[in-house]
Amino acid sequence: MFSNRVASDLTPNRLSTAIARLREAGIPFDDLTESNPTRVGIDYPGRLLDALAQPSGLTYAPEPFGLPSARDAVAGDFRRRGMTVPRDRIVLTASTSDAYSMLFKLLCDPGDEVLVPAPSYPLFEYLAALDSVRTRTYQLEYHGAWSLDIDGLRRATTDRTRAIVVVNPNNPTGSYLKCAELDALATHCRAHGLALVGDEVFAEYVLDAELPRTSSVLAQRQALTFSLGGLSKGLGLPQLKLGWMVAAGPEEFVRPALERLEIICDTYLSVATPVQAGLPALLTEGAGIRTAIRDRVTRNYRALLKSAPRCPSVDVLPAEGGWYAVIQVPAMQSEESLVLHLLDHDRVLVHPGYFFDFPREAFLVLSLLPRPEVFDRAVSRVLDRVEAAA
């Protein structure tokens, strides 16, 4: 009766089962997987949502790419970041996930492939499968710093490949794309007729400003390119459901891409009018939320760097940006059993590296969002557990 886009085995994994058991029993635990910024004590301006009550939001004026005033506001936000983006290259979406779906529809036929990084955001495979698209991975390699395996990426390219996804900075490794990597990617895309999709939702959360990085995939002009962003991460407002993509590259590719995207977006018209009408005010009045989140993740990352040396078997991998930290721990037991042990005995929830497709064990991924007192207590328990096991 059902399509194969959704896997037929819906059995929860062991970690989800353990979490459900604790929740059912009302047993509290410190959640170092928290990725929802609205649940970690960040101060949100009380009247921010007044912006959603603009009288213009009462009129439904469908625009496939979004209201011109909202797209101008996005262009203004790119200007704040030092980038010039014309309004006619900006397409509003309900979220980044929505943007991926639009792009898969634009670029891929069923069975086509997109290349995605590993380790990275675990949802790519699901997002692609829902549009009958397959993912193939290329590796990010760690040698004291993360770098993109460009030879592996070339080898992973087949005649079904339609696009390459890069996450800049990547979740969870926190690594930004370097200029030489962007050049190599763009050259490869151009040579093989592929689109470059840059997921830049965490672009403004720089943890190490000293390191070289490209601010955006929009810096290159060779290949058809899309940069994805939105309120979910950019302002810590996932519940408002507004994202965007910016198209760039050679005019001969951008024009037909936008003509087709217009048809796709016109079919769904997925962005609500009140949030578009309120966008100019949200982007200016909500800027303090981004600063508060940046301060929080920076504070927690520094606290982790300070406390980890007491546990010599733990290595904190350098994070250049984003909301997560990765620690390497001795592979004396499987990541799964360590994570289950931490939950059952220490009441701390962390993500195992395999969730993000790390090529080997043992890594733990820690969200840097939690309240400092929760973060410090939970990190201390993780370090004690790892030290005891080692």
Ligand X SMILES: Cc1ncc(COP(=O)(O)O)c(C=O)c1O
Stretch that binds ligand X, among 90-98, 347-355, 360-368, 373-381 (CB under 6 A): 90-98
* Residue 201 touching ligand X (CB under 6 A): yes
Build a one-symbol-per-residue string for 222-241: x at contacts with ligand X by CB under 6 A, - elsewhere: --------x-x-----x---
For the bound state, the minimum distance from the C-beta of residue 96 to ligand X, rounded and expressed in Å, comes to 3
Nearest distance from residue 170's CB to ligand X, in Å? Answer: 7
The helix or strand, by DSSP H or E, that contains position 64, with its residue range, turns out to be none
Least Cβ distance, residue 99 to ligand X (angstroms): 8
Q: What single-letter DSSP state applies at residue 235?
A: S
Buried b / exposed e over 164-176, threshold 16 CB at 10 Å, is bbbbbbbbbbbbb
Q: Closest separation between CB of residue 113 and ligand X, Å?
A: 19
- Contact in structure between 369 and 293 (CB atoms under 8 Å): yes
CB of 203 to ligand X, least distance (A): 11
Helix residue spans in 331-371 (DSSP H) = 335-346
SS3 135: strand
E-state strands within 143-177: 146-148, 161-167
Residues 164 and 260: their CA atoms lie apart, in Å, by: 19
Question: Residue 232's closest CA among 48, 85, 35?
Answer: 35
Ranges of beta strands (E only) in the chain are: 30-31, 90-93, 113-118, 134-142, 146-148, 161-167, 195-199, 225-230, 243-248, 315-316, 324-328, 348-349, 351-352, 363-367
Of the candidate spans 71-79, 92-100, 282-290, 327-335, the one that interacts with ligand X by CB under 6 A turns out to be 92-100
Within residues 298-357, the interface with ligand X by CB under 6 A covers none
Determine how β-strand 134-142 pairs with β-strand 113-118. parallel
Residue 258 token pair: 């936008």
Interface with ligand X (CB under 6 A), residue from 65, 78, 104, 121: 121
Residue (96 or 157) nearer to ligand X, CB? 96
**Which residue number, 139 or 232, has a Cβ lying nearer to ligand X?**
232
C-beta closer to ligand X: residue 282 or 314: 282
Q: State which of residues 48, 78, 89, 96 lies at the interface with ligand X (CB under 6 A).
A: 96
Both tokens of residue 46? Answer: 């009380």
Q: Between residues 148 and 386, which has the closer beta carbon with respect to ligand X?
A: 148
Minimum distance of ligand X from residue 238's CB (angstroms): 5
Q: Can you spell out the DSSP letters for 286-317? A: THHHHHHHHHHHHHHHHHHHHHGGGSTT-EEP
By C-beta, is 112 or 199 nearer to ligand X? 199
- Taking CB under 6 A as the binding criterion, the range among 58-66, 93-101, 268-276, 355-363 that sits at the site for ligand X is 93-101
Q: Is 97 in the site for ligand X (CB under 6 A)?
A: yes
Site for ligand X in 154-193 (CB under 6 A): 167, 171
> Residue 97 CB, nearest distance to ligand X (Å)?
4
At 18, is the secondary structure helix, strand, or coil? helix
CB-CB contact of 235 with 38 (8 Å):
no
* Interface size with ligand X, residues (CB under 6 A): 13
**Smaller CB distance to ligand X: residue 95 or 383?**
95
- CB under 6 A: which stretch of 43-51, 94-102, 215-223, 380-388 binds ligand X? 94-102
Rank residues 170 and 300 by Cβ distance to ligand X and give the closer one.
Answer: 170
Instruction: Work out how close the CB of 169 gets to ligand X at its nearest, in angstroms, rounded to a whole number.
Output: 9
Estimate to the nearest angstrom the gap between the alpha carbon of 188 and the chain centroid.
23
Q: Helix or strand or coil: residue 243?
A: strand
Minimum CB–partner distance for residue 92 and ligand X (Å): 12
| 18, 19, 35, 389: which one binds ligand X (CB under 6 A) | 35
CB of 82 vs ligand X, minimal distance in Å: 22
Residue with token string 């007729």: 193
- Which residues lie below 8 Å from residue 47, measured CB to CB, with a gap of 6+? none
Residue 117 as a binder of ligand X (CB under 6 A): the answer is no
Give me the residues that bind ligand X (CB under 6 A), please. Answer: 35, 95-97, 121, 167, 171, 199, 201, 230, 232, 238, 243
